[in-house]
Amino acid sequence: QVQLVESGGGVVQPGGSLRLSCAVSGFTFSKYGMHWVRQAPGKGLEWVAVFWFDGTTKFYGDSVKDRFTISRDNSKNTLYLQMNSLRAEDTAVYYCARMGLELGSSIDYWGQGTLVTVSS
C-alpha cells in the first residue's frame, strides 16, 4: 500500500536551517509529482512546494520562495525539503503528499506529518 513517512522535524532557532525527508513506498515514485503542505498551529492548510513528475519543474509558495528548496532522489524513493532562514511563522506540521495521476492534479495521499518548531 502507499506510504509516505516524513522525518527531520524538530526545534530550530530563528535564522537556522532544517532538512525534512519523506520516504515513500507502495508506488513508482518517479512517475508522480510530490508536494509539501504545512499547517501552522490553529491555522489551515498552506501549500508550500511541488516537484513535478517531469523530474525538473518546481514551484513554491510566495511565503517560502527563495528560502526553501524541494528536491527528490528517485533512486532512494525520497522527497526532501531544505528549509533555510527559518522564521517563527514557519512553525507548522509539514506534510509530504502525492499528486494523483489523472485526478485533476489533486493530492491523493498524505503522510502523517512532521512538526517543525522555530523558536529561540
Partner 1 sequence: DIQMTQSPSSLSASVGDRVTITCRASQSIASYLNWYQHKPRTAPTLLIYSASTLQSGVPSRFSGSGSATDFTLTISSLQPEDFATYYCQESYSTSFTFGPGTKLDIK
Shortest gap between Cβ of 101 and partner 1 (angstroms)? 11
Our CB check for partner 1 shows the closer of 2 and 88 to be 2
Report, in Å, the least distance between residue 114 CB and partner 1. 12
Q: What are phi and psi of 83, to 5 degrees?
A: -115, 115
Q: How far is the CB of 82 from partner 1 (least distance, A)?
A: 20
CB 114 within 8 A of CB 22: no
Q: What residues line the site for partner 1 (CB under 8 A)?
A: 35, 37, 44-47, 50, 59, 61-62, 95, 100, 103-108, 110-113
Nearer to partner 1 among residue 13 and residue 106 (C-beta): 106
Per-residue CA distances from 2 to 33, 53, 94 (Å): 14, 17, 18
Cβ proximity to partner 1, 89 vs 108, nearer residue: 108
Instruction: List C-alpha distances in Å: 32 to 45, 60, 89.
Output: 21, 17, 29
